[in-house]
Amino acid sequence: MNTITKIKALAEEGKEKCITWRRYLHARPELSFHELETSSYIQQQLHALGFDNVTTIGDTGVFVTLEGKEKGRTLLLRADIDALPIQEHSSANYQSTVPGVMHACGHDAHTAMLLLATQILKTLRNEWNGTIKILFQPAEEVIPGGALKVMAGGILENPTVWRAIGQHVFPELPVGKVGVRPGKFMASSDNFFITIHGKGGHAAMPETLVDPVVIAGHVIVALQQLVSRNRSPKMPSVLSIGRVSALGSNNVIPNEVMLDGTFRTMDNEWRERALILLTKLVTDLCESMGATCTIDIAHGYPYLHNDETLATEIKKSMKEFVGPENVVDMDIWLAAEDFAHYSHRVPSAFYVVGVGNEQKKTTSGLHTPTFDIDEDVLPLGAGLMAWLALGQLKQ
């Protein structure tokens, strides 16, 4: 029996256990850096798999090291474990039991698949050399991200990590398909919070006021022009306002309006310049209309770069595991991921696995209240990650 056949058999044997892990976690989601029960559960499962070197890292993260038959290079495999502040809309018997919190980004599946991949790699440890660091990382969903905290905890040292691999579920692809993109793959992410300070009062007496609502309208439009008229059309970039808060009434102009938004791109130089332009544009525009403003910028993740050599090798291994017809060349994705932090420290690759199935109604987008996965992806994703790790450490 060849190695791929062994991995697929072990993955299929572990499918029901993997489903159990995923559903347990899905029903008990926890927000970033509050993943206490999640962390405890992962540790319990690793102990049950025979690991006695389970440790915590980055507060609520979990880390274990797996050794092959001989010394060699060190590979990092990473899954994220936190959930989102979203109220789930589902009739599944494993739906979230925590009001207002949901695994709407598939981190429960990522964790379950990495647990099963760990079990497979442990079973086959005589077929590869080196060291695998298995990381269940907290707080992917909040700036500045848990990756920085676990890196500060030494995840990339002692022994030094040679390469890092991560995966993400992707409802836009049907289950059975996987995708990867060499080079720049995901965007940087910076959040901004603007408060426009005017002078409120009676809506029927605008001549006595400084109307921050009208000024906010000008700011929103002008910010779109900041992107469209200051950066090259060849540079992917998006600026979006996701929240406008003007606590007035039909006949009351408020004193303040708050705008919350995000800026994303894939070029560090333009990223820095754009945030300077944003600050100047909003400040000057508000002052020109008699108002003032406060601007806070939360600097987030860098863009995610897939090492060209590693991504090419992974693509070849993917074709061997799922067949060439099931490997998709991914386009750039302007979502952000704190796996990007690893990609700027060590050669890294981040790929996606399809979870979409119209018959099972698992095509809702990430970060939506109706998101779910086709659980047939669990053995596939676990087996694929094990195969990719083996492919790297058998070199």
- Residue 59 DSSP class: T
171 and 227 inside one domain: no
- Are the beta carbons of 391 and 385 closer than 8 angstroms? no
Which residue of the set 88, 140, 211, 372 is catalytic? Answer: 140
pLDDT band, residue 268 (cuts 50/70/90): very high
172 part of the active site: no
309 and 343 inside one domain: yes
80 and 51 inside one domain: yes
List pLDDT tens digits, range 321-377.
999 999 999 999 999 999 999 999 999 999 999 999 999 999 999 999 999 999 999
83 and 166 inside one domain: yes
37 part of the active site: no
| Count of structural domains within the chain | 2
Strands (E), the chain: 55-57, 61-67, 74-80, 131-137, 163-174, 178-180, 183-186, 190-197, 201-202, 237-245, 252-253, 256-265, 292-299, 304-306, 327-329, 348-356
60 and 102 inside one domain: yes
pLDDT band, residue 394 (cuts 50/70/90): confident
Task: Please give the Cα distance from 286 to 212 (Å, whole number).
Answer: 9
Mean pLDDT, residues 82-111:
98
Report the percentage of the chain scoring pLDDT > 90: 98
38 and 134 inside one domain: yes
159 and 51 inside one domain: yes
List pLDDT tens digits, range 127-161.
999 999 999 999 999 988 999 999 999 999 999 99
Query: Domain with 278 in it: what CATH number?
Result: 3.30.70.360
Domain with 243 in it: 190-299
202 and 181 inside one domain: no
Task: Please give the Cα distance from 120 to 248 (Å, whole number).
Answer: 59
Task: Indicate the residue among 299, 325, 351 that finishes a domain.
Answer: 299
Mean pLDDT, residues 245-259:
97
Radius of gyration of the chain (CA): 23
List pLDDT tens digits, range 14-25.
999 999 999 999
Which pTM does this prediction carry? 0.95
**What's the mean per-residue pLDDT of the chain?**
97
- Are the beta carbons of 163 and 313 closer than 8 angstroms? no
Which residue of the set 30, 35, 80, 82 is catalytic? Answer: 82
337 and 351 inside one domain: yes
Task: Please give the Cα distance from 19 to 16 (Å, whole number).
Answer: 5
Residue 254 preceded by cis peptide, ω within 30? no
Task: Indicate the residue among 237, 266, 299 that finishes a domain.
Answer: 299
pLDDT band, residue 395 (cuts 50/70/90): low
**CA nearest to 262, candidates 192, 196, 181, 171:** 192
333 and 381 inside one domain: yes
Which parts of 158-257 fold into alpha helices (H)? Answer: 212-228
**CA nearest to 277, candidates 240, 241, 233, 224:** 224
List pLDDT tens digits, range 35-58.
999 999 999 999 999 999 999 999
169 and 215 inside one domain: no
174 and 252 inside one domain: no
In degrees rounded to 5, what are phi and psi of residue 136? -105, 100
Task: Please give the Cα distance from 372 to 362 (Å, whole number).
Answer: 5
Query: Domain with 34 in it: what CATH number?
Result: 3.40.630.10
Task: Indicate the residue among 299, 315, 332 that finishes a domain.
Answer: 299
